[in-house]
Structure 1
């Protein structure tokens, strides 16, 4: 986060010279870039620091008729959460925001912080392991610097 503070200190005087619509357009570009980076990290099932998420717990091995099901490849986690429908990028003249909206926000919060929640409505409760979904990496900070320089050069 020290790099993020330094970036903010460096860019604040430069942004003050831009008009409000230009600031909003730049913030929108940055937010979209960060959203794409976070979705890519979720696809790779990694936290922003590069560590892998704890794997999903194996579900029951029996199907409805009592026979044992073959072990299939587990589906990737957070597949629907990383869709643009749930993971939104928004911007104002002073900030770029990336976050979850609606019901997906509650689900993402449970997984991001490793909270206790019901598996399904009326079902058993489960302590979910913490899987950091959102964050900013050093590569994303560099990409934001590049976007700022490109925008200011225009």
Structure 2
């Protein structure tokens, strides 16, 4: 099921709800979506279930150093914000890390560090997106909220 089908199916029912109830439902949905996005980023998977493109080998890797996981800080609640209104719910990155997330989401060119002159092409790694399970979770949550 796609988002447009979900919207067509449940849109009329949601319009009949009070704005405060819609805002509460949107907050619950946004919280659920943020958690699923965090889990998916930790598992290093795109929304379609495929794995992220692997990192390039590091030239100056320290011996005995712990391996860092990709996007460990980006997936924390501090940087991955949720917004809920009566009109809808959104999960996005805060402004400070939005550029980094956009480069990886779309697979753009960027400098490796602020001081670096060299640019590199990053492979596309979809950090945010709807998986099939997310759409079903939203549908079930709306239906559960309506039956209360």
**Same fold, TM-score > 0.5, yes or no:** yes
Q: CA deviation at 1:102?
A: 1.6
CA distance in 2, matches of 1:61, 1:106: 25
Q: CA deviation at 1:73?
A: 5.7
The match for 1:111 is 104
The match for 2:78 is 85
Q: CA deviation at 1:12?
A: 0.6
Q: CA deviation at 1:74?
A: 3.1
CA distance in 1, matches of 2:132, 2:58: 36
Q: What TM-score, normalized by structure 2, do the two folds share? A: 0.93
The match for 1:130 is 124
SS of aligned partner of 2:110: strand
Q: What TM-score, normalized by structure 1, do the two folds share? A: 0.90
Count of aligned pairs: 147
The match for 2:69 is 76
- Unaligned regions of 5+ residues in structure 2, if any? none
- Unaligned regions of 5+ residues in structure 1, if any? 63-68
SS of aligned partner of 2:82: strand
CA RMSD of superposed structures (Å): 1.4
Q: CA deviation at 1:121?
A: 1.2
Q: CA deviation at 1:136?
A: 0.7
